[in-house]
Amino acid sequence: MLIGVPAEIKTLESRIGMTPGAVREAVSSGHAVMVQKDGGLKIGLTNEDYSKAGAKIVETAEEIFAKAEMIVKVKEPQPNECAMLREGQLLFTYLHLAPDPQQTEALLKSGCVAIAYETVTSPRGGLPLLAPMSEVAGRMSIQAGAHCLEMRQGGEGVLLGGVPGVPAANVVVLGGGVVGINAARMAMGMGANVTVLDNSLARLGELDGLYGPQLKTIYSSVDTVDEYVTQADLVIGAVLIPGAAAPKLVNTDHLKKMKNGSVVVDVAIDQGGCFETSRATTHLEPTFNVDGVVHYCVANMPGGVARTSTFALNNATMPFTLALANKGYKQALKDNPYLAEGLNVHCGKLTNEAVARDLGKSYVPVTEVLAA
């Protein structure tokens, strides 16, 4: 199979879909790989590195989209990239379609076959291709939140861990999944008072067993969200419903009760965000203020540590990329029902139920399109 790896073009996005090591694995399996010139240069992956791994270096994304059978990316295709996709072409990347009707329509119109990293599952019910970036984003959320609490950034001037004689900040994490636990670990490590809210008693029990009294675990309800969010210095939105839009757990009434200069970091922004007032921002202009509360809503947070993120992502995606190339997507999806969960768009049809429900569209089950 001819695999194409274009440079990412989202604002300040320096990750790349395949590392030289991943290219070498694909080439050794008999595939050809095209990489856009300087696509990995910003994170120290040179054209020479890719050439030595067996890739062909090409000048433009247009050539890659025109020739490659499978496109491997990191972020969702931007409008001009969607326009270059063709019927039957395989796209393997993050998509986050539920809050993005424009991208969904463009992918349906293109006739491509789009497999989303974020909806591929595992036998244990996890999200193996989302987890690496969730780990990064969870850890970054505390760094970003601590910075935003500084006066110069519009924050209330609180040091996350406090100092002797002065209390530490109160950090509330909404959601005890991969993002949430990584955020909680970072915040605890910095000395903050940390509370995790989740509606799974089993998950709260696991976290209590791991961290004991160092981490406060609270069952998430309307009352507890209201109580803990409004008293927090920093709130991390770490809620995820696979494929679907994130629930709006924090509304404008909550914000009005929060302290002036408190901070919210919405890691769920790729799925529409879990704060009613959230809107996607970029690394160039990461924050905005609503009712005195600083909002950090960068939609590609791991892009800020692009080298770490690229290698972490490739460790997870490479076996799936090879399976799709070795077997062809139909056989690969038939052989692996967990990979099949990643199929969101197939030749003009929506194949993810959660996405279809949130966008008010009809969908065709994956089993049906694979059997056709």
Token output for 277: 């007032």
- 343-346 and 113-116 beta bridge pairing: antiparallel
Point out which residues pair with 70 in neighbouring strands.
3, 90
Q: Helices 131-148 and 178-189: crossing angle, nearest 10°? A: 40
Active site residues: 96, 270
pLDDT tens, residue order, the chain (372 aa)? 999 999 999 988 999 999 999 999 999 999 999 999 999 999 999 999 999 999 999 999 999 999 999 999 999 999 999 999 999 999 999 999 999 999 999 999 999 999 999 999 999 889 999 999 999 999 999 999 999 999 999 999 999 999 999 999 999 999 999 999 999 999 999 999 999 999 999 999 999 999 999 999 999 999 999 999 999 999 999 998 888 899 999 999 999 999 999 999 999 999 999 999 999 999 999 999 999 999 999 999 999 999 999 999 999 999 999 999 999 999 999 999 999 999 999 999 999 999 999 999 999 999 999 998
pTM for the model stands at 0.90
Query: Which uninterrupted H or E stretch holds 296?
Result: strand 293-296
| CB of 46 closer than 8 Å to CB of 24 | no
Amino acid at 317: T
Q: Which of 159, 8, 175, 171 is nearest to 78 (CA)?
A: 8
